[in-house]
Structure 1
């Protein structure tokens, strides 16, 4: 098996997919979180300011989701097929709410009627919140796994199999994390009374996330001890959950000092650390077969050919800097507080 820097191709592609989804979580996470709290902002002017805070970047942020999904399909087609067929309902809902969210952003300020704007404000909040929640639901199901046959197909999948206590807990943890992330971002983009209101919402979001994260961590340790086996095998890895806890604890400290840019950086670091923890808990598995370990989907039995992975790694090495450069330029151009003009949403 071919290697680069001592890592085989499937492992390298596993890291590439993880990095892309981490980028998506950080970037689209804040605008999903800002959207999920949109209805808690009262006046029409303030809602327009909040909407325009994410207006120039939300569609570019979703590019990371498209690229991440594409790399997952290209690198691990068996896992992609199994996951999407077993989680068909949440993924279809996810796509529906992505479409509804885009429509809400674009249609909201096209008419002056109050009922019209209230309607799209509601759908914008609903769709943003549901996207964040469903992402967590899918992640929760991946972490706990489900029964698979020898052909790596889900056994007796049913409409509500994705709705289980752990998936719901992970879903709400993801939602509160994104809302906290979004509130920090809005604090960087707003001023005056709206800024004061956003700061109050941020305090509530931080409390909600810390509570949900604690519940999720305890539930994982009690009911899914297999997810901690890698840490028992390699004690040095305990530094990762410690760093995650320290990063989370640093966010309210920085927010209290009104260092919102630093808080946003640590919120982003928290996203990355939590996804790194997921990667460590699963590796080399991608989807655990709860009925028979031999049916577990791993990065090796689900990977594309060595030649295909090698070619795609070359493409990724070329394309990733371009995407990062584009993202940097967009955020640099639209940096600063939001000001409404005739081109605003």
Structure 2
């Protein structure tokens, strides 16, 4: 029974991370593309408003994923946050700056003020988009863990070629995902610009993401990983075709599918480990030696069954309410906005 619960919670954590990358991925892409697709202040405000009602809700998936890891696999959580302390701290600071920038960029009618906060939005999107890939690349590849499951490497050990390719993969995928989202959520010139950019970004995304997934599959020889990686590659190719045909809805579905399948491929490849050791496989953290007690896992399972449908229903309702396309005409000329608005 304990083994079944640990496997279930490993799968649930994989789903939480896939959901986070699916939803926050296009938020990151919008922020990264802010200076590319937003040619003046009204267009940049338009881009921000496409994610204004949902970006903070999307970040809840990260909080839940972290909390679930802490409760279900405390050894994994402790080793991860001690060994990856600096990159995770950088991600946290970047996310905080981005959130503050959304709230404050329109508070003062001054071009320099807005440009500084725009830089925070761009950096607060670009940095996590890269570092999440680097972090998961290292988790799948393995890190130097000793017999006490303590990380004994340094920061530079995390900057290996495989992990850096993982960072480039998440950067390209999230940027493409964001471009497709903007083509889906806007109309007029911004929509056409975003669609053209998405069609252009598709080719490098296929090359980079395909190379990373192929490297992963060849290194671990996992059948499930091969299957999921292949399906992710097909979905990405479909996204490129749909983007070139200007079928934004299908393109967004395909990029979202790519992100989810690629995340699942990494977790399937990782299982039953949660953090392999490059020093000795016997020192690796697994779903068994890193898990909480059976009682804790049972309580968590009942809580998840009770509250997950409520959260999913509320978030789905939010997306439905704010489903319509936006245009520059929806953005008033006034620059200073009241408190609690994000434009």
Displacement of 1:159: 3.1
Alignment of 1:1-345 (within 5 A): 1-2=1-2, 8-40=4-36, 41-155=38-152, 157-220=153-216, 225=219, 227-228=220-221, 230-231=222-223, 238-338=226-326, 339-341=330-332, 345=343
SS in 2 for 1:196: helix
Secondary structure in structure 1 of the residue aligned to 2:274: strand
Instruction: Decide whether the 8 Å contact of 1:143 with 1:287 is kept in 2.
Output: yes
Query: Structure 1: which 5+ residue stretches go unaligned?
Result: none
Q: Is the Cα–Cα contact under 8 Å of residues 90 and 162 in structure 1 kept in the other structure?
A: no
Number of residue equivalences: 332
CA distance in 2, matches of 1:2, 1:121: 48
Is the 2:196–2:244 Cα contact (8 Å) retained in structure 1? no
Partners of 2:31 and 2:324 in 1: how far apart?
A: 19
TM-score (norm 1): 0.92
Give the distance between the partners of 2:216 and 2:321, measured in 1 at CA: 42
Residue 123 of structure 1 deviates from its aligned partner by 1.6
Q: Is the 8 A contact 1:190 1:337 kept in 2?
A: yes
Q: Structure 1 residue 127: deviation in Å?
A: 1.2
Distance in 2, Cα, partners of 1:245 & 1:200: 21
Deviation, structure 1 residue 2: 4.5
What is the alpha-carbon distance in structure 1 between the residues aligned to residue 331 and residue 157 of structure 2? 45
Q: Is the 8 A contact 1:18 1:279 kept in 2?
A: yes
Q: Please give the alpha-carbon distance, in whole angstroms, between the structure 1 residues aligned to 2:19 and 2:86.
A: 25
Alpha carbon RMSD of aligned pairs, Å?
A: 1.6
My pick for the range that moved more, 324-333 or 110-119, is: 110-119
- Structure 1 stretch 202-211 or stretch 302-311: which is displaced more? 202-211
CA contact (8 A) 1:188 1:336 kept: no
SS at match of 1:303: coil
Once residues 269 and 218 of structure 1 are traced to their aligned partners in structure 2, the CA distance between those partners, rounded to angstroms, is: 18
Post-superposition Cα deviations, 1:270-321, rounded to whole Å, max 9, x if no partner, equal 1111111111111100111111111110000000000100110111111111
C-alpha displacement at 1:238, in angstroms?
Answer: 4.1
Q: 1:44 deviation in Å?
A: 0.9
- Per-residue deviation at 1:89? 0.7
C-alpha displacement at 1:221, in angstroms?
5.4
Cα distance in 1 for residues equivalent to 2:94 and 2:342: 23
Following TM superposition, the consecutive aligned residue runs of length 4 or more in structure 1 with deviations greater than 3 angstroms are: 217-222, 341-344
Unaligned runs of 5+ in 2: none
